Amino acid sequence: MRPESEQHSLLDDVLAEAAPAHFERALLNGTLRSVRRRRRMRQCSRGLAAVGVFAATALAVWNALLPTTPVKLFRPGLHIVSSQPLPASMVVGTKPGSVVIVTSSPTTFVLVETGAVKDPFQEINDEQLLALAGERPVALVRQGPHQAELLFLNPEDKNGFPLR
């Protein structure tokens, strides 16, 4: 084998030609970081394995030391069921012809048809409204173009009056 200094000088010559001056230092730092990370992972794995073994051991010891009560199988006793016939007064029965059947025919009912009514009220004008009052004294007071009030001049007519 070659002496150590000779290997380093060869490596220095190769790296000096192909890479910048700080490349060797960056390469060494990256390698060291990778080695440290692997070592930390191995240590964490060993620690987790140790914790797992400890937990399993503790669980096994705990289960072994705890007094457990044996589970008693309980079988219910047999219950004998006896039956007897019902007395005749408790039996329910039906008789044929005791129900009245109701039948309908076209002569016993009326068919009612409904339909949509467009306007069930008929709108009247002012003259028709005044004509309904007949000879009773009334006044039609306008408060706007589409609003009017019908006034009864006799106080007795306010509660209503018969039409002729």
Q: For the segment 40-52, what is each residue's pLDDT rounded down to a tens digit?
A: 999 999 999 999 9
Contact 154, 137 (CB under 8 A): yes
CB atoms closer than 10 angstroms to residue 24: 14
How far apart, in whole angstroms, are the C-alpha atoms of residue 100 and residue 93?
17
Give 32's pLDDT tier (boundaries 50, 70, 90).
very high
pLDDT value of residue 42: 95
What confidence tens digit (pLDDT) does each residue in 71-108 have?
777 777 888 888 898 898 888 888 888 888 877 777 77
What is the model's pTM? 0.30
What confidence tens digit (pLDDT) does each residue in 3-25 have?
566 667 777 766 666 666 677 78
- Output the CA–CA distances (angstroms, integers) from residue 62 to 49, 52, 57, 66, 72, in the order listed: 20, 15, 8, 6, 23
